[in-house]
Amino acid sequence: MRQSCEWLAIIAIAAKLISPATAASNLLTEAPDLTGFSQAGLDRVTEMLDREVGQGHLAGAVMLIQHHGKPVYYQGFGVRDPATMAPMTRDTIFRLYSMTKPITSAAAMILVEQGKLKLDDPVANYIPAFANPQVATEKTGADGKTYLDFAPALKPITVLDLMRQSSGISSAFTDLGLITQLYLKAGLFDGDFDNRDFADRLARLPLAYQPATVWDYGHSTDVLGRVIEVASGMSLYDFEKKYLFDPIGMVDTSYYILDPAKAPRIAQPLPTDRIIGNETISDPTVKRKWESGGGGLNGTTGDYARFLQMLLNGGEIDGKRVLTPETVALMRKDEVAPATDVKPWAYYYPGAGFGYGLGFGVRTGPGDDGVPGFVGEMAWGGAAGTYFWTYPDRDMVMIFMVQTPTQRGRIQPILKTLIYDAIVK
């Protein structure tokens, strides 16, 4: 406990030494165009994030608000690394975790446009081990004991199912009962495996639901990463780099950070805030074979802003087109009930008022989740606290970059509300 208090005191001191205004001088390099925003409202955002760091809840953070492709608000708070006390700067690299999913989904849609992949293709066309999946249903016997009943899948898992999280492929992250125990005992993460190994391991397990019936937040996008490799003949990273990262200028986005010069730029959480589930937060400097399409990327605020702006622009940025407007519109289409027959499961992470498109949540009702917003908003986050949301009809991008597994759920709705309130309606 004493060590924890000492760290909190150090961060609080750093917050005073590195004021938001000082940090902002390293981030926002031109006078912002505040059209559409209230300066007083943005000041309240600054006060809130300054307070979060000052009270020792966060080591540091970066907040970007972008309007018409230009930053309106781009400030750093606290420190990049509690060990070095280096301040936040625009080149800080963050673990994106599930904010990888929209990128993997966009990469898959590039293959669709190339004619190498179809949304209605059975996944077994690319990964034969998924040819005859079994579905496990937990039941209770006459003796009162629970057991798993197995039945063949009624339809094949499709590429679309992977993208909209309706494949039935589960995970060990959320307790669904006996089937979760199977996932826990399967050794999914044993050894130094690659995307092929991981997909084959998942294929040996039963599905939690019939395909195309339930939104289940499992390993669907990881399997999609392997489909991309098979369809393209390239590794997942090599394909993304050639057809997405390089064309739109995502120069610091990768699965691992092997350049020693970049390692000090990695954002680190407080020493007391480094557990995600039952695991310690990942170390991007340790190279592994696995390139997780569901949660393995690392990147900067600026890189991710270029990706989101590309989507808001209908698939292009700075004259470089990677997707057609029709494809982006398809990605933004709600794929969860009542729009389709896919029902939300018990742990529906997009939340009330949100549907789910191809890789991210899409808002279908303003304020239904208790947080204000505009219909059409695209949003998603990562387990280490990173979060984005956009208002496409207003050409606005908001990105919150932070590394805090424990505080993200509390901070995000407060932050979203403050920024929504700062918008001139």
Split the chain (425 residues) into runs of 10 and give each run's mean pLDDT: 49 46 49 85 98 96 97 97 95 98 98 98 98 96 93 98 97 89 94 98 97 96 98 98 98 97 97 89 96 98 98 98 98 95 90 95 88 95 97 97 96 97 93
Distance of CA 129 to the CA centre of its chain: 27
Class of domain 2-104+235-422: alpha beta
- Burial grade of 2 (CB within 10 A; 0-12, 13-18, 19 or more): exposed
Looking at residue 245, its pLDDT comes to: 98
What percentage of the chain's residues is helix, strand, coil (to nearest 5)? 35, 20, 45
In this structure, how many other beta carbons lie within 10 angstroms of the beta carbon of residue 234?
Answer: 15
Residues β-bridged to residue 389: 379, 398
Looking at residue 6, its pLDDT comes to: 53
Domain ranges of the chain: 2-104+235-422, 116-232
- Burial grade of 343 (CB within 10 A; 0-12, 13-18, 19 or more): middle
State pTM to two decimals: 0.93
Show the tokens assigned to 73.
């608000």
Whether 71 contacts 205, CB under 8 Å: no
> What are the residues whose beta carbons fall under 8 Å from the beta carbon of 422, sequence distance 6 or more?
37, 38, 40, 41, 42, 44, 45
